[in-house]
Amino acid sequence: MPRPRLVAPLLEQPARLRLLCAPAGFGKSVLLSELLRAGADTHDAIAWIGLGSEALPVERLVAQVATALQRPAPDLPPQQALWQLLGDPSRPLWLVLDDYPADPPPELDACIDLLLARTPPNLQLLVSARQRPEWNLPRLLLAGDLQELDAAQLALTRDEQERLVDLIAPQANPTLRDELWAESEGWCAGVRLQLCSRFPPAAASNVGAHHCWLKEYLDHELLARLDDDEARCLFALVHLPRVSAELCQQLWEDGDGAALFARLLARHAFFMPLDEEGRWYRVLPIVARVLRNRLAPAAATHLHLAACRVFIAAGQVEDAIEQALCAQQPEVAANYLEHLGQEWLTGEQHLAHLLAWRDRLPQVLLESTPRLLTLSAWALLLAWRLDEAQACIEHLGRFLPQADARRNRKLIANGQALQGVLTALRGRSASEARQHCREALEHLPERDWMPLLLCHSALARMAMAEGEPDQAAALLHDALELARRQGSVLFEVLINLDRIRLLVLRGELTRAQSLVTQSFALTARRRGVDGLLLGRLHLIQAELHLLHGRLDEAGPALDSGLEQALACADPFALHGYLGLAERSSRQGEFDQAFLHLREAERQMHCRQVWRLCFNGALSLQSMRVLARQGRWERVEPVGLRIQRYFEGEHPWMAPLDYPTLPLRNQLLLARVHLSAGRPQQAEAALRSLLQRCERLQYRPLACEVGLVLAEAARQLGQEDAAQLEREARQQASALGLNGLLQEWAALPNGTPAAVTLLSQREQAVLHLLAEGCSNEEIGGRLFISVNTVKTHTKKINSKLGVKRRTQAVMRAKTLGLLV
């Protein structure tokens, strides 16, 4: 597997020593070969010394170098002999020491160290090792003469690993690929051996389909190099989520646990660093899984209990909870859950952790205290699991009345905060939701600042949906001040996300981008990776890219945001799928767009998300894709079904996370009227809709409505059609809505151009299909192969949303692509 991303930097800068230091199986030897192929000229001398981790004497090294250079070994002391062999100035020399030993003789280390201090000008030294050599590396680094790569840098990237899987087991499904990436973290040997166990090559078919090649590999390459104490220590540490020298010292009080751990680190026993300080480590997951059964169950339980006590004493509550659960001590785990701080839920991947713990804890424990019920309820609300959250809120009533009036008011106020946010998310009664939130704000003590902030957020988002942007801004300003006074960067970013949403609705995209950049900078200050917030920031960044028409830049942001949201059990993953579907449909990849929407629905179902939190958004995006295909007959029934929720005597509130949904639905229904030749109905609906958008200050949406209204006016022959279009375009340009302008720029009459769905070659193929030509005839007339004709035909069918060529011709005539 070539890795030019590593080779190029290593060769760009001259250095006396290029050192590759990592455990077995990270492709060190292969990379050294790549370096030689890329860097050495044909006339260069190359001496490749494969040491095999053998602690050989200096004399043998001299002999091997002489043999590699096809020269006699000088009859001199070893150091001088080596210098004479390597110091020939007539041509460049590449000396490779592959698999340098972990415990070399002191004279060998001294010899290489002296060689590095007085390197001949013609010499390039390349070394691979499993353990960092005891040479004066800091001196080389300061002199700019050291280039070093460790395991993290040598690990395969996701793209490289995917290419490797394609080579070894192209039949591997996406789920297996994801699991392999999560476990191996780019460890090349681990990937190959796992695939060989799952999909045995023909040469190894007699071994068995499920033979654990990785176990054998670790036996030979890792365990055989450890003494008994080191192996026992490793077998214990693979059961822990993180380890450090201090932790090991407390776990092995009767021995020197810290020293034992230091020896394992020195031997590169697959401990990967978790922080920049080199304090905390964890065993590579794929290695840990294979080695876990080496420890007896009783010993493992004892270890988990001991680690639980150490973690809780150090204030590491999350790790203590996990260890208590592993030790089958749910009461202890439930007790520790009450230690978690107010902002904990929104940090890192904590929401996912709590939801997983709920599945492992007995229901009676989760409902045993008001604190546990409240924590569960907020987690379920953040995960949009509203029915379960409602049950938790109802169970709070069992703890009333409290022992004194103050605690009674506090519990009731917390319950009202939960009920207010729940009612707002359900969308049935805005007045009831506001009442609960406002009463909670009146009675919650300031130290309960998390529910205070979430009530402000819910009230602000309701104000956005109901056209009160100034009130929303004021609520968010108050919430932002409270978050800052509490020193909570997490909630400052969470409130910023609401502020960004408000700015996007109003078309203030420059300010929105500035706030996104600021929020990324805030999260970067924290030690951990706050996946939930980072995922949401990436998704809002992708939305800004789409509004600006930057489809290429939107892709990576959507991928990053979706990956983090899924890892954190954050239902905002929905917006990642919506963005991917929007991007695909704009590029004419309609089948792919619908695949994204189907996967979004699947994920929402699997994660127990309340149905109405995602159904409307998915249906609306599906309608947008159908509209781009010109399939208006399928748009109308879906739009009418959505509209019923927002009409009548008791209309629903717009979704908190998609406040423009009802208006966008009305816009699509108006476009249905236009497509069906009913411009009068369309115009009446659009003029009313435009006024409402302007009142709500939804400026980007107003621009889109204005462009459709101009088309309706044009069809009716009204004089102000051109003026309406010009004003809408000018406003869209002023707001930076290049994505909207790109869609409406192709045809002189301002309608989104169906012809832009097809390339020029696809249009030529379509016209010949309409004439009834066969694939062979089309190929002959366009001078392309029959296979190319078939490829173009498949793309045409996909873009037009049909399956047969006859259907494609009919659809093209409907869209005006064929006359």
Type of residue found at 438: R
On whether residue 99 sits in a domain, the answer given is yes
Instruction: For residue 763, tell me if it sits in a domain.
Output: yes
Helix (H, G, I), strand (E, B) or coil at 113: helix
CB 713 within 8 A of CB 731: no
> Is residue 731 domain-shared with residue 680, that is, in the same domain?
yes
In a domain, 750, yes or no: no
Question: Within this chain, do residues 732 and 763 fall inside the same structural domain, yes or no?
Answer: no
> Among 110, 126, 153, where does a domain finish?
153
259 within 8 A of 136, measured Cβ to Cβ: no
**CA–CA separation, 620 and 666 (whole Å):** 10
* Residue 83's CATH number: 3.40.50.300
Residue identified by tokens 């049909």 is 802
- Could you tell me if 72 and 92 lie in one domain? yes
Mark whether 30 and 149 lie in a shared domain.
yes
Q: Encoding tokens for residue 207?
A: 């071994």
**Inside any domain, residue 409:** no
Please report the DSSP string for 621-653 in residue order: HHHHHHHHHT-HHHHHHHHHHHHGGGSSSSPPP
Identify the burial level of 51 via C-beta atoms within 10 angstroms of its C-beta, where 0-12 means exposed, 13-18 middle and 19 or more buried. buried
Could you give the 3-state DSSP secondary structure of residue 772? coil
168 located within any domain: yes
| Contact between residue 174 and residue 181 where contact means Cβ atoms under 8 Å apart | no
Low-confidence ranges of the chain (pLDDT < 70): 202-210, 745-757, 801, 814-816, 819
Boundary residue ending a domain (131, 153, 175) = 153
- Whether residue 704 is found in the same domain as residue 725: yes
Give the number of domains in the chain: 4
Q: In one letter, which amino acid is 779?
A: G
- Domain co-membership, 20 together with 122: yes
**How is residue 604 written in tokens?**
């929402």
- How many C-beta atoms lie closer than 10 Å to residue 388's C-beta? 17
Residue 790 lies in a domain: yes
Which residue(s) pair with 147 in the sheet?
A: 18
In 3D, which of 545, 492, 488, 535 has the Cα closest to residue 515? 492
Three state DSSP letters for 481-509: HHHHHCCCHHHHHHHHHHHHHHHHHCCCH
Question: Does some domain include residue 364?
Answer: no
Task: State residue 719's pLDDT score.
Answer: 87
pLDDT value, residue 15: 86
CATH number at residue 789: 1.10.10.10
- Coil, strand or helix: which one is 589? coil
Q: Which amino acid belongs to residue 756? A: T
| Residues 8, 128 within the same domain | yes
If asked whether residues 203 and 147 sit together in one domain, one would say: no
- How far apart CA 139 and CA 17 sit, in angstroms, is 12
Q: From residue 745, how far is each of 70, 263, 546, 719, 755 by CA, in Å? A: 72, 67, 16, 21, 12
Query: Do residues 625 and 585 lie in contact, with contact meaning Cβ atoms separated by under 8 Å?
Result: yes
Structure tokens at 292: 């876990």
Any domain includes 215: yes
- Element holding 267 (H helix, E strand): none
Task: Report the CATH number at residue 701.
Answer: 1.25.40
> Would you say 39 and 11 are in contact if contact means Cβ atoms under 8 Å apart?
yes
The rounded distance, in Å, linking the Cα atoms of 775 and 793 is: 9
Asked whether residue 121 falls in the same domain as residue 9, the answer is yes
Structural domain including 119 reads: 4-153
> Please, which residues have CB within 8 angstroms of residue 743's CB and are 6 or more apart in sequence?
586, 752
- Residue 73 and residue 121 in one domain: yes
Gap between the Cα atoms of 542 and 794, Å rounded:
29
Same domain, 27 and 146: yes
Could you tell me if 108 and 182 lie in one domain?
A: no
User: Which of 200, 220, 240 represents a domain boundary (last residue)?
Assistant: 220
